[in-house]
Chain A
């Protein structure tokens, strides 16, 4: 059974940083497309970033230059480094596997507020 478990969310001040983690079991992070998708409170889904199996990375314009996706094959874990956070980054962040996203984590809440 595939499980994706996010961690690292929390309350951060504007301009601050957070690193989200997504630990996978039953699924190999390094061999598959892995995504981050977010959902602001009461809003729709917003794709954030993808890392392809070959290592190429892409970002939504709203986070480009501020967020970085990466993976650790030895830990079978996906990461999202989030810098220069803004109030509009407040959302539940989901990690996911495959393209389209067949596997979803339960999400971790990031709140950017002073």
Chain B
């Protein structure tokens, strides 16, 4: 099965900082990669699909890139409301594995 390690597992950044989270598939998955945001105590929310397509209503400070095995989620200017855990997920074929998550906090 394809593994989806994410890095870092946590980070602390200042408001306005550029934040980058990486997800690396152990085998190529084309662009079948999604990113989810889960705020504390809340249900996860789909942010990005097809590696780089923003879900409707998601702020433009979020962006995704990558194809094959290496993927990146970028927050161009971190805001207080972005405090959350972010997960990647492969969805090309089962098992639809999630990454381990990246917890983002404000410094």
A60 engages B44 (CB within 8 Å): no
Answer yes or no: A102 CB below 8 A from chain B CBs.
yes
A contact set with B: CB distance below 8 Å: 35, 37, 44-47, 50, 58-61, 94, 99-102, 104-107
**Do A106 and B43 contact each other (CB < 8 Å), given the known contacts A47-B97, A99-B96?**
yes
The 10 residue pairs across chains A and B that have the minimum distance between CB atoms: A58-B94, A100-B34, A44-B101, A47-B96, A45-B98, A100-B91, A104-B43, A100-B49, A102-B46, A99-B91
Show 9 A/B contacts (Cβ-Cβ < 8 Å), sorted by A. A37-B98, A45-B44, A45-B98, A45-B101, A46-B98, A58-B94, A60-B95, A104-B44, A106-B43
A55 to chain B, nearest CB (A): 14
Q: How large is the interface on B (under 10, 10 to 19, 20 to 34, 35 or more residues)?
A: 20 to 34
A44 engages B94 (CB within 8 Å): no
Answer yes or no: B71 CB below 8 A from chain A CBs.
no
B contact set with A: CB distance below 8 Å: 1, 34, 36, 38, 43-46, 49, 55, 85, 87, 89, 91, 94-101
Select A45's contact among B1, B38, B46, beta carbons within 8 Å. Answer: B38
Query: Which residues of A lie under 8 Å from residue B1 when comparing CB positions?
Result: 61
Residue of B nearest to A99 (CB): B91
A6 to chain B, nearest CB (A): 11
Which of A50, A59, A101 has the largest count of B CB atoms less than 10 A from its CB? A101
